[in-house]
Amino acid sequence: MKKLKIVSIVVFILSVLLFGAYTLKEKTGKDQTRPVFAMDTDSVQVSVNDGGEALLEGITVTDAHDGDITDSLIVESVGPFDEEGNRVIRYAAIDSDNHIVHASRKLAYTDYTDPVFHLDRPLTFPVDTTDLLAGVSAQDCIDGDLTDSIQIIPNEDIDTSQAGVIGARLKVVNSAGGSSELPVSIEIYDNYVNSRLPRLSLKEYLVYLEKGESFNASDYLQSAVIDGTEYAFVQKNGTYGKADSDEKAESRTIDHSRVVTTGSVDTNTAGCYEIIYSLEDAVSGTGTGSVRMYVVVTEGGTK
């Protein structure tokens, strides 16, 4: 029994020695050096339209055992914008011994612009409406269509059960953290009252201008429906108000001068401006209709 115990101890000691020898061999036989990054610069400038390969330019990765392993280089992540408008790219590379190394550098876009909104129709809706974003969309140079990400941030509680005007901001944020906001006035109207008023249509309901560009509010007038009849806007000599019972549909026009505009745009100052167009039916006396347009004056260039 005593001999068996001694043999067991010897076997155990031999096992430990063999395991230690094997582990040492594994460690000494495996390359312990780690790959090394080399970068031409600690930042890179690219277009938002450039592919992923542009983010890898100017970087090489070498390993003492494998040599050049730049082919293993990948973009691990691209962070959000910082306060200076830059992003941080995080890279990773791996050698044949599964050593993973990381590096990072700054990314600056040469042509980035914040998301933009589009309005296909006025922000006017009947009482009890359930969709205050009808006709609103957003596009972004990085993510493309951001329409599903648009938020309405009201200045006060939203109540669509009564006619009135709701002050609010439209907001959208892209995947890089770039955002845009548009202050708007959302009009809730009574169907019966609104159906009798003149209805104005514009060529655009939201216009983006760079600082210094010219702006003329009347250039965006398109047509008006007055007492059930549609008129196209013209500079002068419109047929609206003339006693001509034989007037043809294609010749029904109305002068720009009949429209009153409220609000102004300072194209030398970046910001969002609201213009209200109003038209009174001076012939049939159906009332005064109005429509809003928004003008965003930008600094121009990239962020």
pTM of the model: 0.82
CATH hierarchy code of domain 197-303:
2.60.40.10
Closest to 276 in 3D by CA, of 256, 290, 287, 255: 290
Supply angle C-alpha 56, 87, 52, rounded to 5.
30
What's phi and psi for 151, nearest 5 deg?
Answer: -115, 150
d(CA 4, CA 102): 55
d(CA 167, CA 182): 11
- Render pLDDT for 261-272 as a digit per residue (tens, 0 to 9): 999 999 999 999
Q: What residue ranges of the chain have pLDDT lower than 70?
A: 1-31, 243-250, 301-303
**Which CATH superfamily hosts domain 36-109?**
Immunoglobulins (2.60.40.10)
DSSP 8-state assignment for residue 228: T
d(CA 80, CA 47): 16
Would you say the C-alpha torsion 59, 33, 101, 27 has a positive or negative sign? positive
* Tokens of residue 180, six digits: 């845009």
85: region left, alpha or beta (phi > 0 left; psi from -120 to 50 alpha): left
- Render pLDDT for 103-137 as a digit per residue (tens, 0 to 9): 999 999 999 999 999 999 999 999 999 999 999 99
pLDDT at 244: 60
CATH hierarchy code of domain 113-194:
2.60.40.10
3-state secondary structure of 13: helix
* Tokens of residue 167, six digits: 């002050």
pLDDT at 29: 53
Domains of the chain, by residue range, sit at 36-109, 113-194, 197-303
The two domains 113-194 and 197-303 share their CATH topology (first three levels equal):
yes
